[in-house]
Amino acid sequence: MKLYRAKDYNDMSRKAASIISAQILMKPNCVLGLATGSTPIGAYRQLVDWYAQGDLDFSEVTTVNLDEYKGLTRDNPQSYYYFMNEHLFSKVNICKSRTFLPDGTEPDSHTACENYNETLRAVGAADLQLLGLGHNGHIGFNEPGEYFPTETHCIDLSEQTIKANARFFQTMDEVPRQAYTMGIKTILSARKILIIVSGEDKADIVNTAFSGPVTPRVPASILQLHGNVTLVADEAALSKFQKG
Ligand code: F6R
């Protein structure tokens, strides 16, 4: 695993955006696996700035997102579809028909997951998969469990994740309890993986995931077995990292 130490969130975001833009420059028709959540917002902002300055061209890029809440419509500001439009897609020259997320409005989980698996197969392996890290070690919404789920599946979000997400909703009742997420096998099929982490509250999980044993109880620990992973994290997130 390559480790890039960043001073703070902004530095982490710039470094992550540099790696993503290098991928686009080297292969303009690349497939990018994308993440939502608070961590990648700064990187997306930087990519949008570079696009606005004429330094980046998204016209041939295809994107596949990790996950989507089940039951949220696309116009719901908390849906990941809305998030991606807000932070990236509507601000760059990406072709909307080449941006893919699981369909949170599909009530039948089996259909939603099979449809997304089909999309992922058609698009092919991501050239670069961007990941954030959950406090419990989840990647995508692959929550801690007894085994590593392989392909897209419907997940019951853990209490910890529901609580962490609650800050984005008015009431606890509105916080989605389920999500559709890409599986671990699909995530690992990416040629390169970029995981970004910021903040002291993630220091314990960074150490557990990347210094501890590989176990489905800490889903991100599986990244230790992938041959091309880059961790970009700020000093606060790395403050307890024994292998750092
Ligand atoms: C989002 C995702 C999640 C987040 C993780 C960290 O698409 O897949 O795994 O990356 O929950 O979220 P933040 O960045 O909000 O701390």
Catalytic residue among 65, 117, 136, 142: 136
239 in a structural domain: no
- Number of domains, the chain: 1
Residue ranges making up the domain that contains 183: 2-234
91 in a structural domain: yes
176 in a structural domain: yes
Q: Is position 138 annotated as part of the catalytic site? A: yes
> What is the predicted pLDDT for the residue at 158?
84
pTM: 0.96
240 in a structural domain: no
241 in a structural domain: no
- CATH number of the domain that residue 220 is part of: 3.40.50.1360
User: 194 C-alpha to center of ligand 1: Å?
Assistant: 13
User: 107 C-alpha to center of ligand 1: Å?
Assistant: 23
pLDDT in tens, 169-189: 899 988 999 999 999 999 999
Q: Is position 93 annotated as part of the catalytic site? A: no
For the chain, what is the HEC assignment?
A: CEEEEECCHHHHHHHHHHHHHHHHHHCCCCEEEECCCCCCHHHHHHHHHHHHCCCCCCCCCEEEECEEECCCCCCCCCCHHHHHHHHCHHHCCCCHHHEECCCCCCCCHHHHHHHHHHHHHHHCCCCEEEECCCCCCCECCECCCCCCCCCCEEEECCHHHHHHHHHHCCCHHHCCCEEEECCHHHHHCCCEEEEEECCHHHHHHHHHHHHCCCECCEHHHHHHHCCCEEEEEEHHHHCCCCCC
pLDDT in tens, 29-40: 999 999 999 999
Q: pLDDT band at 212, cuts 50/70/90?
A: very high
51 in a structural domain: yes
Q: Is position 67 annotated as part of the catalytic site? A: yes
Closest ligand 1 atom number to CA of residue 199: 16
155 in a structural domain: yes
> What is the predicted pLDDT for the residue at 161?
81
242 in a structural domain: no
